[in-house]
Amino acid sequence: MKPDYIEINDSEVEPEAPFTESLAQRFVNNPIAMYQRSEGAPRMKLLGEVVILSGSGTWTVPNEVYRLKIFASGGGGGGGRTNTSFMSPSGDNQGFGGSTTFGPYIAHGGIPGANAPAADAPDVQSYAGKVMGGACGGMGGGMGKNGMPGQTFETVIDVFPGETFAYSVGSGGTGESFGTNHFGSDGANGFIYLEY
């Protein structure tokens, strides 16, 4: 069990101040609380250990880890394309970015970009997908619209060594490729970033 961090006041370490049992206990516990990142404890360094997960599996909390920061994104939606008529992505979710999960937490994938008719498209034109914190959506082909970036979540939770979390990282959506002109590109895969 991680100890609480309890601040030591300047007045308690003055030359004439009594050395109390409470003060002695804080001298022992506070460095441990800082190392284990107890709530309210100052951080010993700006960036802790970092793990970036892909694919799917089970992640186990390492020894002596009691706090975990999670930042995750679903996959970006696929880019729309330009062709002779408007055509939306098919109804089986083709083009949608996959959702990313870590334990009970979920970040949904981005939606695909809309398509555009060829009459509106210049001969050579495309637009870069935007990051906006989540996995990039695919570029729209010609005047086709960019896929939307994956949704994100960020949180800090209490954990204990040996605790396990099932995870699955969402894939990027497939760019729209029906027809012959200005295909959309695929969205970027999602990610899970852990810091402890």
Beta bridge partners of 154: 71
pLDDT tens digits along 22-49: 999 999 998 888 877 787 887 665 557 8
Identity of residue 181: N
Beta strand spans in 11-151 (E): 50-53, 56-60, 67-73, 82-83, 100-102, 105-107, 116-117, 126-127, 140-141
Block residue for tokens 């990282």: 169
pLDDT tens digits along 162-182: 999 999 999 988 777 655 556
Residue 98 CB-half CA count within 13 A: 17
Task: Read off the tokens for 18.
Answer: 């009594």
- Predicted confidence band at 56 (pLDDT cuts at 50, 70, 90)? very high
